[in-house]
Structures are given as C-alpha cells and as structure tokens.
Structure 1
Amino acid sequence: MSRSGAVIVHDDAEVLAEAVAARLINRLADAQAHRGEASIVLTGGRIAARVYANVLASNLRGTVDWSRVDFWWGDERFLPSGDPDRNETQAREAFLDRLPVDPARVHPMAAADEADTPEEAAERYEAELAASAGGSGVPAFDLLLLGIGEDGHVASLFPGNPALEAAGTVAGVRNSPKPPPERVSLTMPAINTATAAWIIASGEGKAAAVDEALAKRELPAGRVEAQGHTRWLIDRDAAAQLKHLEF
C-alpha cells in the first residue's frame, strides 16, 4: 500500500474492499462514540457491493450500533422498487437486510412506481433530508461514499449534464449517458457538506478518470471537497496512470 496525500492505494480489489469496510466500521463507531449516532451516504457499483459484503462479514461489525445509523443514498436509478439495478436493492441484498438496522433510519430515494418523475423523487428526498436536518439543508453526514465512472462522474453527476450545476440538495437527472437515462442525485453542494467523503475506484477502466480528476480537478470527481477530509481509496489497477506517485 502506498500513500500520497488523500490517495491510498491497495494491492487489488479484494484488499481494497476489506480495507474500506474496516475503515467504514471504524468511522461509524467513532461517530457514535462522539454523539451517540451516525449517518452514512451509500453508493452503488461492484466495488461498493464488495465493501458492503465485507462489512457484513467483519468481526468488527459489532462495534457499531446499527440501529442508530442513518442510511442515505447519494444517487439512485429512477426504476421501480426492487429493480436489481437500483442502488437501494444492491445495498439491501449486500448487507442492510442482514444487519439490525432501524427501518425508520433507512432512507431510500423514491422509486419509479412511487413518484411520477425524477424531479418529484428529488423534491421528496430534499424534503426528507431537510426534515432530518431540522428544517433545511441536509443532516450531518459522517461518511459519504462515492464511486467514480470512466468519464469521471460521481453519484449521478455527469460531465456536461445540467444536474452537475444544480443548486439545492437533490436533483432530478435526465439524459444520463449511462442507462437508465433518468436518475436522482445529491447535488455537488450537498455532497460537499459531508464530514468525510471517500471516492472508491477499482480496475484499469477507472485509471484515466482517476488521474484526470486528481490532476485537473475539472471532472465531477475532482470537485468533491468534503468539509473534513476527502480520500481516494483505490487499487493498483485504478492507480495505473498516476505517474506522479510511486508504488
């Protein structure tokens, strides 16, 4: 493993998933030690699913009172409830349904059979966030997880898409370059309220985007600036084009 500032590189995807899972548990346990509860924003994707599976399997998972954790999502595909491509479905299958969570503290974004449009789903989620925050804005996010796409997108904020520049806290997304075209996403200002944001990347397909986002800060992923710290947790394949780092 090699470190350079906010970048932590692990040998392969499995080691990365295990390490992120351990860090996640510690982060939530520390938050609960300070204020009795914790809040996390979940992401989707293959590496995220492996992280969640490692959380479930960890001997340390009992250090967190899962009934006092709020689970939010950074983005969602605007598809019917239970669709396997929804981030909510993935997270429930990977670990949420097998942890002693409080159902009232699990906050999925509205599905396509629950809201008529992505914009309506965004408005509803914005209202739920505001209510949890005491009337406006978003609640304290102790940890916000993000993947990165090959084009440098995070959540469902794609380069050149109007949602990337959206104000407020949640945006409906249309014309996504990746299917499905309709989505719901936290906005960049909402993402950047997090105390900690971790961008997780695995595989050679992410290497160019990781390098460009870190070097130029112009891609959506490069615009993530959490209030406390932002970490890039990646494997060697995703770090393959970071020529200014030594591994």
Structure 2
Amino acid sequence: MSTRLVVVHPDPTVLAEAAAARLLTRILDVQSVRRPVHVVLTGGTVGIKTLDAAAASPLREAVDWSGVHVWWGDERFLPAGDRDRNETQAREALLDDLVASSGLPARNVHAVPARGVGPDDASTPEESAAAYAAELAAFAADGDTVPAFDVLLLGMGPDGHVASLFPGHPALSAPGAVVGVHASPKPPPERVTLTFASIGHAREVWVVAAGAEKAEQAAAALADGPVTEVPAVRAVGHDRTLWLLDAAAAAGRG
C-alpha cells in the first residue's frame, strides 16, 4: 500500500538543497540493490534549483551515473535549445556537466522530442508524445508501457497542476502513457506530458513546491480534493509519495 509523507523546510533554498540531497541519496540507495535507475525530472523554479544544488553536492560523485536514465514528466513543445524547455534548463543546471565529467551517457538522457523538422524532432505535440511513448516502452518491463521509475519529481502550480495536467483540462483523463496538450492555460499553449497512469507507475513520486501562492492547493491536494480542481491529488507513487514543501507552501494545512 502506498504511503504519504509531508516534509516541510523553512524556505525555498533549504527545500531545494534538501531535495537534491534526498534525490542523490535515493539514487545511491537504489543502486545498492538494482540497476539501472530511472529518474524523472521536473522544471520550474524549485525543480531547477534542486538540480543546481545536486550539481554542487559532493554526493554526486558517489553516484554511478553510467547506470542512471533521465526522463521528463512534461515538456513545453518548443524548438530544441529554447530557454523555456525544461530539458534546456536541466542540461545547464546539471546534466551537461554529468555527461562531460561524471560518466552519464548522453544516450541515457531521454529528452521529449522538440518542435522542428530534424530527424529527432516532431511537427505536433501528438507526434512528440507518440515518439516519447515509444522511447519509454523500449525501457519498460514486458507488459508495461513505461519503466518503473525509481523517483519521479513534480512541481505544482498555484492552480494545483502537476506536469502539464491542468484543472479541468481534457488531458486529465487521457489514456496511454504520454499525451499532447493544446490550449494550456499556462504558456506556451502546446506541451507534452506523462499521463496520470504513467505517473502512478513510479515507485516514488515527490511533489516539490514552495511559496505562499501554492498553500491553498497544497492543502486541497493533501485533503484529497477533486482531481478536476486540484490535479496534484493524483500525483501518487506506487510505493510512496513525498510532499516536499517550504513553510509558506505548507501554511494552508490544518
């Protein structure tokens, strides 16, 4: 049975540093019992600050990065290298350095296909989603559509969205592993996201959120509010769910 734990840190800086240490320790712990390790990253302010903190941590050198695969929970459907792509920000914060100096194989960084006309690009969010679903399936166990992610990081918006699954949006009930998103209420309007089915396949899901503007929806999600109003309520790991909050984001709890 899945368990849920809420951990509150005093401010966004400590939250990011603690989440980074927790992430690196989780990878090390998993590597002691099985390989490879599958990690799903998130974007957003705290998500990227977490990767910045991981880059600066001495624990990063203890990880055998050759056995780690990196994925994304969602992506903005923009050209490769665009500053607003989660991939671009994650590469600058951590991944390019790991590839260059810490043994992370470039082929283990599984980016969502970008908008473009190149061989690795896609012309529509649906084409990108289909290609990413195929990539995920290639690393899944027989009968599964995605790997059993060891940890899946998610941010949460002030509206309670996670990944690119927004309140009242049709993508909330999308079938399959990955879906293209149109008319996102948050720009850019076109995106690609894992579905809740894929998110729920993760062994552990961590929701990382900071700021007073997140407090109401964090409290609603932790009180099991309706998914159509607070999608984060369905961000649940198969084994464990962690809510990693700063004090401001946790202020709405009972």
| Distance in 2 (alpha carbons) for counterparts of 1:17 and 1:197 | 16
| Aligned-residue offset at 1:216 | 3.0
| Distance in 1 (alpha carbons) for counterparts of 2:225 and 2:198 | 18
The number of residues matched between the two structures is 239
Partner of 1:154: 162
| Aligned-residue offset at 1:205 | 1.2
After TM superposition, the structure 1 = structure 2 runs for residues 49-68 of structure 1, keeping only pairs within 5 Å, are 49-68=48-67
% identity of equivalent residues: 54
Partner of 2:248: 237
- Secondary structure at the aligned position of 2:58 is classed as coil
- Secondary structure at the aligned position of 1:133 is classed as coil
Change (3 A) 1:37 1:134: closer
Paired residue type of 1:130: A
Residue 183 (structure 1) aligned with residue 191 (structure 2): yes
Partner of 1:11: 10
Equivalent pair of 1:10/1:235 in contact (CA under 8 Å): yes
Equivalent pair of 1:217/1:223 in contact (CA under 8 Å): no
Partner of 2:236: 225
Partner of 2:172: 164
| Aligned-residue offset at 1:224 | 1.6
- Secondary structure at the aligned position of 1:216 is classed as coil
CA displacement, residues 114-134 of structure 1 (integer Å, 9 cap, x when unaligned): 101000000000011011115
Q: Which of residues 87, 109, 112 in structure 2 aligns to 1:109?
A: 112
| Distance in 1 (alpha carbons) for counterparts of 2:10 and 2:141 | 43
Q: CA RMSD in A?
A: 1.0
Partner of 1:28: 27
Gap runs ≥5 in structure 1: none
| Distance in 2 (alpha carbons) for counterparts of 1:11 and 1:148 | 18
| Distance in 1 (alpha carbons) for counterparts of 2:235 and 2:207 | 9
| Aligned-residue offset at 1:27 | 0.5
CA displacement, residues 63-82 of structure 1 (integer Å, 9 cap, x when unaligned): 21112100000000000000
- Secondary structure at the aligned position of 1:171 is classed as strand
CA displacement, residues 144-194 of structure 1 (integer Å, 9 cap, x when unaligned): 000001110000000111111011100000110000000000000100000
Partner of 1:38: 37
| Distance in 2 (alpha carbons) for counterparts of 1:134 and 1:51 | 29
CA displacement, residues 3-49 of structure 1 (integer Å, 9 cap, x when unaligned): xx611000111111111011000100111111132110000001111
Equivalent pair of 1:145/1:197 in contact (CA under 8 Å): yes
Partner of 1:127: 134
CA displacement, residues 195-231 of structure 1 (integer Å, 9 cap, x when unaligned): 0000000111111111111113322101122111001
Gap runs ≥5 in structure 2: none
Paired residue type of 1:11: P
Residue 203 (structure 1) aligned with residue 211 (structure 2): yes
TM-score (norm: length of structure 2): 0.92
Partner of 2:80: 81
- Secondary structure at the aligned position of 1:130 is classed as helix
| Distance in 1 (alpha carbons) for counterparts of 2:23 and 2:141 | 26
| Distance in 1 (alpha carbons) for counterparts of 2:200 and 2:47 | 20
